[in-house]
Amino acid sequence: MNIPQRMILVAMLLCLFSGSGVSGEKARLGPCVRQCIHTFNPSLADSGAVEFMAENFRARECVQKCKENIYEGECNSLADGCCHADYLEVDPDCQSGPPNPEPDPGTNPPPGTGPGDNLPPDPGEPGKATLEGIDSDRDGIRDDIQRYIVVTYPDSRKTREALRQATIALQKIILESPDVESALNNTELEARASECIRFIRPADGREIDNMLLAEFLNTLERSRAYLEYDAKLGGHVFVGKNIDEYRSSCLFDPDLMED
């Protein structure tokens, strides 16, 4: 039996023997897991979906990555199911509650869980040497932008998540828009991310979105790549979401975050 088959079998057994079962219940899909799934497949845009359950093995891989702190500082044990190793072994889908209660809001978070903890070092000039930049922790976000987001918005996790979504879209845009068709696909990712930012920050969403872009396009090469992408959109017609529908553009659940 190969590994995927084995994983599917394990998942089925868990469904059968678990007290609560997985069927009819949404899988845990916090911001870290969403982020991870999104890097696999942006079309699995939202949470708790039938598609997500069908892609359960991928989700579990994302849970594992979150647990291993690949997305350092962003892991939410309750929402992401990124519980410690012992917990994962007894309940790999993280369907039960966490083994230890979450710290009360207002108390200091334990070391290593704050937004500024475990940030990669400033890449400096070497970080500007290539189009893609340096992503030392391989979270899909360039180190300089990862730092910018955390340092600029330390008090709003929702804002950080929305800007991470936007950064992933921007990175795809400058790296993977060689033709009109790919530019048209990528512009939808950018639009959804921008809508999410404006949902999270109705008063200043446009400003912080443009500030992120200004920070992101910090070299001539990156600026040129973005403008070449934008030029490919000329002549096309786009239908945006209604403002009332912006919430659904977020690839994470803002309701799971307090700030």
Partner 1 sequence: MKRIFCLLIVCLLGGMLVAETCAASICETKEAVIFFGNGVKSLKRDARDSIALIEKRLKAELLPEEFKTLEFDIAYNGTHTLPLDLLESVIQLLTGNISKFWRYFFGLDPIPEWFAENFILLAGMLDESSLLTTDSLAKHVNTYKTVIAEGKKVILVAHSQGNLFGNQSYNLLESRERQSFGMVSVANVDNNVLEADSPYTTLKTDKVIQALIAVQLGLPTSPMRPNTENFPAADNFWGHSFIDSYMVEGSISAAQITGDITAALGNLATPYQVVEPGVITVSLTWGPEPDVDLHVNEPNGMHVYWDNMHGLSGALDRDDRSGWGPEHYHVASCNTLEEGIYTIALDYFKGSNPEVATLQIQAGRLIRTYEIPMASEYYGSSGSPEVVANLLVKPGVNSGFEFEILK
Residues of this chain that interact with partner 1 (CB under 8 A) are 39-51, 176, 181-182, 184-191, 194, 198, 206-207, 209-211, 213-215, 217-220, 222-224, 227, 230-231, 233-243, 245, 248
CB of 224 to partner 1, least distance (A): 6
Minimum distance from residue 199 beta carbon to partner 1 (Å): 11
22 or 233: whose CB is closer to partner 1? 233
Residue with tokens 């959804």: 192
By beta-carbon proximity to partner 1, the closer residue of 93 and 190 is 190
- The answer to whether residues 184 and 156 touch, using CB atoms and an 8 Å cutoff, is no
φ, ψ dihedrals at 63, nearest 5°? -55, -45
The minimum distance between CB 36 and partner 1, in angstroms, equals 12
Tell me how far apart the alpha carbons of residues 140 and 132 are, in angstroms, rounded to a whole number: 10
Q: How many CA atoms lie within 13 A of 10 on its CB side?
A: 15
| Least separation in angstroms between CB 43 and partner 1 | 4
Length of the chain: 259
Comparison of 98 and 254: residue with beta carbon closer to partner 1: 254
Q: Least separation, in Å, of the C-beta of 118 and partner 1? A: 25
* Residue 19 or 235 having the CB closest to partner 1: 235
Each as own residue / partner, the long-range contacts of residues 219-223 (CB below 8 Å, 24 or more positions apart, any chain) are 219/128, 221/131, 222/131, 222/174
Comparing CB distances to partner 1, the nearer of 19 and 234 is 234
Residue 234 CB coordination number (10 Å): 7
The token pair at 219 is 């070299």
